[in-house]
């Protein structure tokens, strides 16, 4: 099974600053079709998860360009620029290359 | 607008059963793979099961294999999850989600397993 490891698990950020979340997989996430199925989700308190980024770096419709994804193979990063109060929540990386595995989650809070 | 609405959750005793439903609208349901994902209280989401667009190929997490059955009715635009032999550790919010990339999620239905 693929294990997804996120860091940090808690991320206090000052408004307007940049937040960075790391996600590492125990195996390469490159699929046999050549794609890398790594997504990022945001879960605000009391809400369902919402996808932000798919296939490493593609932003979903309506997602601000303050959110960006990067990485390859087993190492991936979500960057949130100019953090706003509405960004508070838990962020999960998810691999969909070999069934699906979620990371433990990173809780973003405002300092 | 894509909409997924889950129902069928509730309080059930250990060993009991439920059938969860997910009503889909706003897209051509029969074209999409569909999933069930659950989230236990205070924990992260965990993928449970998926089914391909015509319903011929289900897949399951090891933790539910043999107890849960995913199915779909494309004529009714509805996804199902039959959950049997429920255990306390199955207590969670159950979400349905669309597509290989889990691009849309419903609001979830709560399942509580307790005596």
Report chain A residues whose CB lies below 8 A from the CB of B45. Answer: 41, 43, 49, 92, 102
Q: Measure A34 CA to nearest chain B CA, in Å.
A: 15
Structure tokens at B50: 């998926």
pLDDT tens-digit map of A57-88: 999 999 999 999 999 999 999 999 999 999 99
pLDDT tens-digit map of A4-61: 999 999 999 999 999 999 999 999 999 999 999 999 999 999 999 999 999 999 999 9
Give A47-67 as a DSSP string: S--EEEEETTTEEPTT--TTE
pLDDT tens-digit map of B92-108: 999 999 998 999 999 99
Nearest residue of B to residue A96, measured between CA atoms: B101
Q: Of A48, A92, A101, which is closest to B108 when you measure between CB atoms? A: A48
CB–CB contacts below 8 A, A to B:
50
């Amino acid at each position: 099974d693929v294990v997804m490891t996120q860091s940090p698990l808690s991320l206090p950020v000052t408004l307007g600053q940049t937040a960075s979340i790391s996600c590492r997989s125990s195996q390469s996430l490159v699929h046999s079709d050549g794609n890398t199925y790594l997504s990022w989700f945001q879960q605000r308190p009391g809400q369902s998860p919402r996808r932000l980024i798919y296939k490493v770096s593609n932003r979903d419709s309506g997602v601000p360009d303050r959110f960006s994804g990067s990485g390859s193979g087993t190492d991936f990063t979500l960057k949130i620029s100019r953090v706003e109060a509405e960004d508070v929540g838990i962020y999960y990386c998810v691999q969909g290359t070999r069934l699906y595995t979620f990371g433990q989650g990173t809780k973003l809070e405002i300092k | 607008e894509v909409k997924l609405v889950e129902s069928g959750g509730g309080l059930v005793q250990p060993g009991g059963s439920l059938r969860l439903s997910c009503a889909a609208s706003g897209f051509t349901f029969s074209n999409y793979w569909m999933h069930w994902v659950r989230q236990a209280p205070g924990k992260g989401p965990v993928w449970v099961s998926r089914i391909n667009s015509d319903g011929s190929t289900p897949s399951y997490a090891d933790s539910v294999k043999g107890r849960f059955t995913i199915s779909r009715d494309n004529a009714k635009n509805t996804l199902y999850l039959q959950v049997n032999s429920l255990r306390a550790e199955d207590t969670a919010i159950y979400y349905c989600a669309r597509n290989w990339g889990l691009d849309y999620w419903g609001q979830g239905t709560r399942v509580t397993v307790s005596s």
